[in-house]
Amino acid sequence: MLAARTTRISSSPTMKGLIAAERLRAAGVNVVDLSAGEPDFPTPEHVKDAAHAAIAANYTKYTPNSGSTEIKQAIVGRYRADYGVEYDVSEVIVCAGGKQALLNGALVVFDPGDEVITHTPGWPTLVEQIKLADASPVIVRTSPEDGFAVRAQPFLDAITPRTKAIVINSPANPTGALMTEAEMIRLADVAAPRGIWIILDLCYERLIYDPVAHNLPRVLGERMRDRTILAGSASKAYAMTGWRCGWLLATREVVAACNAIQSHCTSNVCSITQKAVVAALTGPQQCVTDMLDEYRRRRDLIQARVVQDPRFSCLTPAGAFYLFVDVSAFLSPERLRTSADFCQALLEQQHVVVTAGEAFDAPGFLRISYAASIETLAEAARRLHAFIADVDAGKYSARVTS
């Protein structure tokens, strides 16, 4: 019999689109895949050059489990420059992606019987990690009527004597919505005196489109530094998803505990990756700006193309690179019953891969990643509207989501 924890979690639903796309491609089908949560840009040249130099210099051995001093200094320097917050290298651990950083934090903070609050529509891994740490997830909802904004009040309303932590993702996947500094101040001012932790997932921190105030690390550092965990990643900002490097910043006590856990799991992040990330964090940052500008152009194009049919409804995302589209107008008991049905039929008929809202606890929606070329996005929109024309023509009878 398997361990009980295996019955409490499920595999990542956002990976199903990738699997479906690969299956169709193997059959020779021309697939348009807008499911991927990763940049389509190549890793910047100066970052790749640093990796080549590391290999040439035989920098291919173990590093300290928590990462080299060099990369931890680079992370500390980046957060000092971007947020004006001060951390020591002993308050940083380098992990195999932001996902491991968040799991490390969950494992060292949560206990059985604890309640941990997070928000939906949201990245499903956050809820599954709470379960993996034997705590109980408490879900608060953001709403399209409020732009999916992550606000303090729903978290405050959900606090009980068992609340151990609050986990926030801003900019949020899949909505692209933000938590403002003012809302974080409200939340921190209540959480701090109660000893509640705030874990902040900043995976998309460099992908915010407008110059809005979003210095959440400083807000938390000024109010509750000893109960704050920051998780970040090189993946999205520097197009380095496959390099697998993220980090966690917290107190020495938290980092030491994470270090102990990681030492028995993955040990150090690849030494060559560490050298590449040092170059990314300390080198020219124009590459980040250039990618953000292109994402903005793509966002505006795909949103304009999608809403040519006014039955589609979608808010303009403030960050990340996803369009979260309300497709409820196309659902009915006689045709496509759910957004999962909608996405499956779109895949089968027009070979466009998107992610159903059910993956994010948001039935009736779908997520379109615009981390794809302008040409690909235009073709995806064309196929989407061709599919809708068939739906209107009554070509789809009721189907049950598998």
- Which domains are present in the chain? 4-30+287-390 (3.90.1150.10), 61-282 (3.40.640.10)
Mean pLDDT of 394-398: 72
Mean pLDDT of 72-101: 98
CA quadruple 28, 33, 35, 36: dihedral positive or negative?
Answer: positive
Kindly tell me if the per-residue pLDDT of 314 is higher than 90: yes
Kindly tell me if the per-residue pLDDT of 341 is higher than 60: yes
pLDDT averaged over every residue in the chain = 95
| Cβ-based burial of 212 (10 A; exposed 0-12, middle 13-18, buried ≥19) | exposed
Kindly tell me if the per-residue pLDDT of 81 is higher than 90: yes
Mean pLDDT of 215-229: 98
DSSP 8-state symbol, 172: P
Give the HSE-up count for residue 130: Cα atoms under 13 Å, Cβ half-sphere: 23
State residue 343's pLDDT score: 95
Cis before 171 (ω within 30): yes
**Total-model pTM:** 0.95
Q: Find residue 138's DSSP bridge partners.
A: 117
Those residues whose C-beta lies under 8 Å from the C-beta of residue 4, and which sit 6 or more positions away, are none
How many angstroms separate the CA atoms of 316 and 303, rounded?
8
Mean pLDDT of 227-246: 98
| pLDDT more than 90, % of the chain | 89
Confidence of residue 141 (pLDDT cuts 50, 70, 90): very high
Q: Which two tokens stand for residue 295?
A: 């994402």
State residue 62's pLDDT score: 98
Nearest to 134 by CA among 23, 6, 244: 6
State residue 400's pLDDT score: 46
Contact in structure between 245 and 273 (CB atoms under 8 Å): yes
Kindly tell me if the per-residue pLDDT of 328 is higher than 50: yes
- Residues 104-121 pLDDT 10s: 999 999 999 999 999 999
State residue 401's pLDDT score: 47
Token pair 């999962």 is found at 340
Residue 225 amino acid letter:
R
Confidence of residue 397 (pLDDT cuts 50, 70, 90): low
Mean pLDDT of 202-209: 97
State residue 210's pLDDT score: 95
State residue 17's pLDDT score: 67
Give me the count of residues in the chain.
402
Confidence of residue 49 (pLDDT cuts 50, 70, 90): very high
State residue 334's pLDDT score: 86
State residue 24's pLDDT score: 84
CA quadruple 126, 369, 355, 317: dihedral positive or negative?
Answer: positive
Alpha-carbon distance values, 176 to 83, 256, 317 (Å):
20, 33, 5
Nearest to 120 by CA among 158, 94, 78: 158
Cis before 42 (ω within 30): no
Q: CB atoms < 10 A from the CB of 391, how many?
A: 18
Confidence of residue 324 (pLDDT cuts 50, 70, 90): very high
Helix ranges restricted to H, 225-355: 252-263, 271-282, 286-306, 339-350
| pLDDT more than 70, % of the chain | 97
Nearest to 14 by CA among 119, 122, 168: 122
State residue 402's pLDDT score: 44
Kindly tell me if the per-residue pLDDT of 396 is higher than 80: no
